[in-house]
Structure 1
Amino acid sequence: MSRTYGTFETLRQQNAVLRDTVALNSGIQLAAWFNQNDTVTVQSDHHTLSLYVADGYESYHKTPHGWKNGGGPDRFCLMPKESESSWDIRDNLSFVHLYCTDEHLRDIGEKIWDRSPASFRLDEKTFASDDKITALYRHFLLDCDWQQQANQLALSSASTLLMTHLIQHYTNVQWQLPKVTGGLAPFVLRNVLAFIEENLAQPLTLADLAQQAALSEYHFARMFSQSMNMAPHQYVMQRRMAKAQQLVRHTAMPLTDIAISCGFSSASHFSNRFKSSVGMTPSQLRAASQ
């Protein structure tokens, strides 16, 4: 499902340059921006998590006591729905936004904790620091091409982890995460692994895999990791690379077709990922195998 996010549309009408954006299957949207020499006021019916990627030292936020700065790489801001905030960007700023609604947070709350308040009230934060948020967005969000369908699983995993962290630490409920012990039941694991093998060409998400196990994304990810000793997105990429190697070595299938059959929508992205995993490009491996 897709929706329009007010903050996203406001920035598009300003000096901000949209570098990348992706709508995840849940309806959550990510956007990578660059801005400079701009003043922006935002008020919307959704929540925005803003992550500073580079610069931002001369970004000022309007407070009752005047304009205050404190930005910089790895700082984050939380702008809850219906809050109004004004910003004066006086120098370069590269940042990533995650847009979500109360419904998104409530859905995660119901699936992980089996309960939900009337609404989640997010704390407003400006120029704050959180090592967990930094690690998640730098490792997941900035480390992959958003437009490649093969990366949808990593992106959906990161967004779920980020919102789970927000519920834990920056809302009116601050629920503690339930303990998850043990892995997936053997028959459930077999079904999930078979589903993955049958759908390597598809842009798999964490929700797709969790649905096969009838679990929340949070519980599934942790139980899968205990069963397989790796995260779901790591396992899926491993299987894609194994299938690709098999097809490169033992068939005459065109490399572009192999890329598509292994879930990559770009031959160049497939080649780069393949070389990173195998140590040589698909064409080099094919030549060496003949």
Structure 2
Amino acid sequence: MAQLTDAFGWDTPDALKEWFRLSGATEPLRACIGPLPTSGAVIVRWTADRPDTQVRTLVPHPDSYRIAIQLEPVQSEIWKDNAPVWSGVIGANRFRICMPGAKGRWHRMSGCDIVNIFIPTATVHTMAATCGQDLEMLSNNWFAPDRIVMDLTQKLLEADTLAGGWAPQFRDHLTSALVAYLLQQHAQLPEASANSSLAGSRLQKILAYMAERLADEISVVELADACAMSESHFSREFSKSVGMPPHQYLMKLRLERAREALIDSNARVIDVALELGFTSASHFARAFARRFGVAPAAFRQLARHSSDELCSIAA
């Protein structure tokens, strides 16, 4: 229990509630759970039915990631280091990873229903190390729709009903599942290790080779041949340098390129899929939903809706 409270200076539940009060949360908090016995995570849900009249300073949380989940739409303005980064409506069922020690301000201009999950950086990095991942940090994403994150959040909130007296252990395992998913989808890995024989210009050359051939069927044997390595040696050195196997990196690259195409072009979903090496629309849709938590067509609609909101504000 001391792991999280020491990191924040939260020695009592009142100190935790004070953090939320300073950040603009209204009392009473709908849920204030933790620290959990193993992960040290804290789960807080708060709601408001009217706007906040003040611009609030977000108090840093230097030793924990904060996963902010919007259960309902909220209209807000957000500043980072005194620079405006958002003004408009954040849609329901979206989440954001907030970095340890991050500073900023926000102004809530509507009611809200928000869940904050604080996960100690030590918990995240220990899990990454256990799985052999050399993690630099989780990526600082913007509010994105993700069905997996939403499902896990709901189960964290409903654990007392679902697991009864086992709720703390149930929540700990759900937190581990959430961390594992975020590590898979949102890990920012260090630069290539100098100990890897696949580094520097050699690595950049093979990454460019992969990026230029996303529509083709690229085998590990082909990639290994391009580096004058055996298949097993190449796979091992690639994973050491990039943090994931070649086929997984290719899929990540294809899906990120697909996301850009869905936002920036009017191409049909099937055409985007085929141009990026997917064999069918259904194969593409399943892979895209696993990566981003929403189907391609729904993602395009959400992205354009958000863009329209920003344009109307700018006008």
Which TM-score applies when normalising by structure 1? 0.52
User: What is the one-letter code of the residue matched to 2:72?
Assistant: A
**Over 4 Å off, 4+ runs:** 5-9, 174-177
Equivalent position of 1:22 in the other structure: 33
Which stretch of structure 1 is more off in the superposition, 9-18 or 159-168?
9-18
Alignment partner of 1:86 is 2:131: no
CA shift in 2, pair 1:41/1:143, >3 Å: same
Query: C-alpha distance in 1, partners of 2:182/2:85?
Result: 28
1:62 to 75, 79, 96: 79
Alignment partner of 1:33 is 2:46: yes
Alignment partner of 1:47 is 2:70: no
Contact 2:78/2:106 (8 A) holds in 1: yes
Alignment partner of 1:129 is 2:145: yes
Spell out, residue by residue over 1:200-241, the C-alpha distance to the aligned partner (whole angstroms, 9 max, x if none): xxxxxxxxxxxxxxxxxxxxxxxxxxxxxxxxxxxxxxxxxx
Equivalent position of 2:115 in the other structure: 96
CA shift in 2, pair 1:85/1:171, >3 Å: farther
Contact 1:49/1:97 (8 A) holds in 2: yes
Query: C-alpha distance in 2, partners of 1:13/1:167?
Result: 30
1:169 to 178, 181, 185: 185
User: What is the one-letter code of the residue matched to 1:47?
Assistant: Y
Deviation at 1:154, TM superposition (A): 2.6
Query: C-alpha distance in 2, partners of 1:107/1:142?
Result: 25
Which TM-score applies when normalising by structure 2? 0.48
CA RMSD of aligned residues (A): 2.8
Equivalent position of 1:73 in the other structure: 92
Paired residues, what number?
Answer: 172
Q: Structure 2, unaligned stretches of length 5 or more?
A: 11-15, 190-241, 246-315
Contact 2:139/2:188 (8 A) holds in 1: yes
* Counterpart secondary structure, 1:126: coil
* Counterpart secondary structure, 2:37: coil
Contact 1:51/1:95 (8 A) holds in 2: yes
Spell out, residue by residue over 1:66-94, the C-alpha distance to the aligned partner (whole angstroms, 9 max, x if none): 54234132111211112213211111111
* Counterpart secondary structure, 1:76: strand
Q: Structure 1, unaligned stretches of length 5 or more?
A: 178-290
Query: C-alpha distance in 2, partners of 1:104/1:78?
Result: 15
CA shift in 2, pair 1:105/1:120, >3 Å: farther
Deviation at 1:65, TM superposition (A): 4.5
| Percent of residue pairs identical | 17
Spell out, residue by residue over 1:156-185, the C-alpha distance to the aligned partner (whole angstroms, 9 max, x if none): 1211111111111212139559xxxxxxxx
